[in-house]
Amino acid sequence: MIKLYYTMAQPSESRAFACRVLGCAAQDILLHENGKPYLANGPHFSISHSGGMLLLAVCESSPVGCDVEPANRVVKNETSIRTKLFPGNDDTPFLQLWTAYEARLKSSWGEAANVIHPDIHENFICAVAAHEGASIAQVSHLD
């Protein structure tokens, strides 16, 4: 089960937000060689920020990844990116494809990840990637 937490804040507040939700100290958050944050004793988590939103996905049982983008984001070179990374997906909105791609990378599951697009805020596109069968148990907006 995945728990999602989000708030409207700046990227510089990411670590403090994660600590608040996870109940840990800032120094408890370590970084893998690839830059992904983790806690030595769990749980698994992923954090994303864009357009003033911070999104945190937490999963006790296995790696998880998340991504968020403003729904009105204009992507330079969208056509060439779509052709290279998402061939044959011409009917799917680009930001849904992009957030799924980013969440999969962050999850450690790659293409095997189950991707969920939770509708948590009308102005943002979100994706969460986790093991097959994973579901979102909770969505919380924190001030």
Per-residue pLDDT reduced to its tens digit, 65-101 = 999 999 999 999 999 999 999 998 888 999 999 999 9
The whole-number pLDDT of residue 110 equals 77
Domain boundaries, the chain: 2-141
- The tokens 């986790």 sit on which residue? 130
Low-confidence ranges of the chain (pLDDT < 70): none
HSE (side-chain half, CA atoms, 13 Å) at 137: 10
Rounded to two decimals, the pTM is: 0.93
- Which residues, 6 or more positions from 40, have their beta carbon under 8 angstroms from its beta carbon? 28, 30
Beta bridge partners of 139: 4
The whole-number pLDDT of residue 1 equals 92
